Structure 1
Amino acid sequence: MKHTYRTKGTCSTQIEFDLNGDIVSNVEFTGGCNGNLQGISSLVDGLTVEQIESKLKGIRCGFKPTSCPDQLAVAVKEAYDSENA
């Protein structure tokens, strides 16, 4: 299922991704550091929600309390929880 998440506190403004069970694919960020976010999208393609959370949750960008990778971890967890509620 396709999901869209509006980020909070980052340069990117939105994340879109597919969630099939607990597998994440087709991650696309809007805004932010294009090259870095393409790299993150490629690296997480095919990973589970749990794997993404364990690798990316809590990463900070400078003095910000979050980052684009952290927001991705939040987004996939929220989507997974809403699909399995």
Structure 2
Amino acid sequence: MNTYKTRGVCSREIRFEIEDNKIKTVQFIGGCSGNTQGVSRLIEGMDVDEAIRRIDGIDCGGRGTSCPDQLAKALKEYKAAN
């Protein structure tokens, strides 16, 4: 299980698992429950690069980031380390 501490959003942390470059599970800790569950379910099973392409740069309320964008950052960090 990988853990990413979020910045600038309501969720505090993202936990995720990657297997064969596919996103196996995603769990947001904190944040808007319905939205983060929706993002998680849509992303699970997706190729890491495709997920990054789709969610990178999404903004929430002018914050310059969002929970999906933070997940993209977490996935990029994971790819750089592996």
Q: TM-score range by the shorter chain?
A: over 0.9
Counterpart in 2 of 1:60?
59
SS of alignment partner, residue 62 of structure 1: coil
TM-score relative to the length of structure 1: 0.92
Over residues 21-70 of structure 1, what are the superposed CA-to-partner deviations in whole Å (9 max), with x where a residue is unaligned?
31112100000000110010000001111111111000000110100000
Counterpart in 1 of 2:8?
9
Matches of 2:76 and 2:24, distance apart in 1: 14
SS of alignment partner, residue 28 of structure 1: strand
Question: Which consecutive residues of structure 2, in runs of 5 or more, have no partner in the other structure?
Answer: none
Aligned residues: 82
Please show how residues 1-85 of structure 1 align to structure 2 within 5 Å: 2-83=1-82
Q: Give every structure 1 segment of 4 or more consecutive aligned residues whose post-TM-superposition deviation is greater than 3 Å.
A: none
Task: Verify the 8 A CA contact 1:6 1:14 in the aligned structure 2.
Answer: yes
TM-score relative to the length of structure 2: 0.95
SS of alignment partner, residue 18 of structure 2: strand
